[in-house]
Structures are given as structure tokens and as C-alpha cells.
Amino acid sequence: MTDSTPTGAELAVGDVVAERTVHLTRESLVRYAGASGDFNPIHYRDDVAERVGLPGVLAHGMLTMGLAVETIVEWLGDTGRILEYGVRFTRPVVVDAEAGADLVVTAKVGALDDETARIDLTVAFDATTVLGKAQVRVRRHP
């Protein structure tokens, strides 16, 4: 967030409120598996991913979803302002064993009313959107 990032009453539809790039590694996936308890081998074993027809080891969908919404936390200042969050998983994030994977997240104001803002998250990997209809409804004021 910069000093010019709009907040509260200053918001307008189309404003970018946050953006970042997150680098994922295979270690990131193992750590997430330990934290979440999701040890499905498609998230860490190339042979298993290949056997089930995947293009490679995939990032956990919930990890991708969590990283996306985390992008707006600094801007919000208080995660208690998040009222609702939802996404559709549309494309996998393949995490290469050596190069990893970069997720690019942009958070933009999609709609406003007096009390709330809808923040639309664009989440891309390899210039392809991986989450569809990623929207967070937040209280405009703390």
C-alpha cells in the first residue's frame, strides 16, 4: 500500500487498492500441507501428479485463495472488516521443482455502496487467470 492508496470515503470503482507478486516453491507447498493437513501427493510428487494426468505438481487451491485475499490485509488494516469472500477455481498453479511459480495478485474496487465495497481480485499465474469471480466484500469504514 502506498500513501496514495484510496481508503474509506475516497474509494471509487476501478481503484487499485493493493497488488503484489507471491513466489511459491515446493517448500511452500510442503509447509502449507503441514499447516493444513492436506497431504495429497499431487501437491509434492511429480510422479503422482503425472499419473493422474496433471501437468505437474499443483499448489493447493486453498493456499492460492488465502494468498490472494491476504493481499488486501495491509490496506484494510483490520481483517475483521472482511464480510464475505469467495472464488471459483478455474486453472491450476503448477509449481516447478526448480523455478517455482509466481502468482500476481491485483485488488481493485469492483462495486461500492454506502457501507461496503466489493474488491475484485485478479490472480494470475503465467499470465493466465487462475481464480474466477474472486471477490471480497468489506466494510468501507473501520
131 lies in some domain: yes
Query: Which residue in 82, 97, 109 sits closest to 29, CA to CA?
Result: 97
How confident is the model over 54-85, as pLDDT tens digits? 999 999 999 999 999 999 999 999 999 999 99
31 lies in some domain: no
91 lies in some domain: yes
CATH value at residue 82: 3.10.129.10
30 lies in some domain: no
Q: Which residues of the chain have pLDDT under 70?
A: 1-5, 7-9
> What is the rounded distance in angstroms from the CA atom of residue 132 to the CA atom of residue 107?
13
pTM of the model: 0.90
37 lies in some domain: no
46 lies in some domain: no
Number of structural domains found in the chain = 1
Domain containing residue 130: 12-24+60-139
